[in-house]
Amino acid sequence: MNLVRFSPRELTRANTLGLPCVAERFSAPGSLAELQASLIEARERGWPLTLLGGGSNLILPPRLAGLVVQPAMANWWQEEGEEDSVRIHAEAGVNWHELVMALAARDLWGTENLALIPGRCGAAPIQNIGAYGVELADVLEAVEVVHLADGSVSRLSPEACRFGYRDSVFKGAMAGRVVITRLVLRLSRRAQPRLGYGDLASRTGASPTALEVAEAVCAIRREKLPDPAQLGNAGSFFKNPQVTSGLAKRLLAEHPDMPHFPQPDGRIKLAAGWLIDQCGLKGWREGHFGVHDRQALVLVHFGGGSATELLAFADRVAGRVAERFGVELEREPRLARGQAPR
């Protein structure tokens, strides 16, 4: 006997871009047993399966066939570790920003630079979310997953997750094979402020608390980024490209003020927002979509548009950058496509 019931669901408000979408069937399992029952049902009936988190890094089509599963397990708890360390267990449905602020209020260090990143904990490892010099990989101890093939549960180490810049095994070999159900984070009671990115240092005191750092990050993000509740967007729409040192040198000869960040592998990371801005695209609007007038890295939805229109607009933005700088931009948000569980 099934533990969950499926019904159609309007998902327009379930994605921060505000793209119109209807799920043919929808499930929000509140426990591991309910999640496993949903996956069994999809597998036995051959339904295409789409996994949905907070909808903050996702492009939805007008209709998703099969079954959309949005894990709703939303508990988190603290476990004392060795010396000054603390383990935080957070289920997939926990709101990431709310968790970060709660941890910072307890003066636990490690995630404060990741404040105000939208979405839920279950989606955080997929993108290896990062901001202000910190990535999820820096504080992650383990990821618990359910395998779609048989409903079994396993725990992955950070090494098994193969984290990279906005990348992980969940975008590659494990895409469509697992559902993330819980994160285990390792934080510290010892002050470890990381203030070297942007103007964080100037916004905090000499010895800030974790909460003061988190609040400074929130203030900066609110100044630069639009609120999805007011103007549809998925945050940074393009990854910051990493180019060869040769190309970077040629570009710097023409643009000495170009932001650039050497990487351990010898490549140079460029600022996608700066490249777009230099093409004169900040504030550019075409149809229902545009480039944000304060942060060129963000594409915004004014309402009434579709995924097809958004992707075409994004291609035009990337094309302008490629034409001027010879740099290819890669999209950050994933395009939802229902697929058979593997």
What pLDDT, on a 0 to 100 scale, did the predictor assign at position 288? Answer: 97
pTM score? 0.87
Query: Cβ distance 138 to 123 under 8 Å?
Result: no
Same-domain status, 80 and 218: yes
Catalytic residue selected from 141, 212, 309, 332: 332
Residue that terminates a domain, selected from 193, 223, 253: 223
Residue that terminates a domain, selected from 54, 69, 84: 69
Neighbouring C-beta atoms of residue 206, cutoff 10 Å: 6
Identify whether 1 is part of a domain: no
Residue 146's H or E segment, with its range, is strand 140-147
**Domains held by the chain: number:** 3
Catalytic residue list contains 203: no
The Cα-based distances of 38 to 6, 95, 146, 236, 322 in angstroms read 9, 22, 12, 32, 44
Identify whether 342 is part of a domain: no
Q: Mind listing the pLDDT tens digit for each residue in 113-136?
A: 999 999 999 999 999 999 999 999
- The runs of H, that is alpha helices, within 57-209 are 96-105, 124-127, 158-161, 200-203
Same-domain status, 96 and 201: yes
Pairwise pLDDT comparison (2 vs 331), residue with the higher score = 331
**What is the C-alpha radius of gyration for the chain, rounded to an integer number of angstroms?**
20
Q: Mind listing the pLDDT tens digit for each residue in 204-257?
A: 977 899 999 999 999 999 998 899 989 999 989 999 999 999 999 999 999 999
Asked whether residue 2 carries a pLDDT value surpassing 80, the answer given is no
Same-domain status, 233 and 135: no
Q: What is the DSSP string of 6-24?
A: -EEEE-GGGSTT----EEE
Catalytic residue list contains 236: yes
211: Cβ–Cβ under 8 A, 6 or more apart, which residues?
101, 104, 105, 107, 112
Mean pLDDT over the full length of the chain = 93
The CATH code of the domain that includes 93 is: 3.30.465.10
Catalytic residue selected from 27, 56, 168, 236: 236
Residue that terminates a domain, selected from 181, 197, 223: 223
Q: Mind listing the pLDDT tens digit for each residue in 60-75?
A: 999 999 999 999 999 9
Identify whether 2 is part of a domain: no
Residue 269's H or E segment, with its range, is strand 268-270
Give the residue numbers spanning the domain of 310: 226-335
Same-domain status, 92 and 114: yes
Catalytic residue selected from 166, 182, 221, 320: 166
Catalytic residue list contains 332: yes
Asked whether residue 80 carries a pLDDT value surpassing 70, the answer given is yes
- How far apart, in whole angstroms, are the C-alpha atoms of residue 141 and residue 118? 21
Same-domain status, 41 and 53: yes
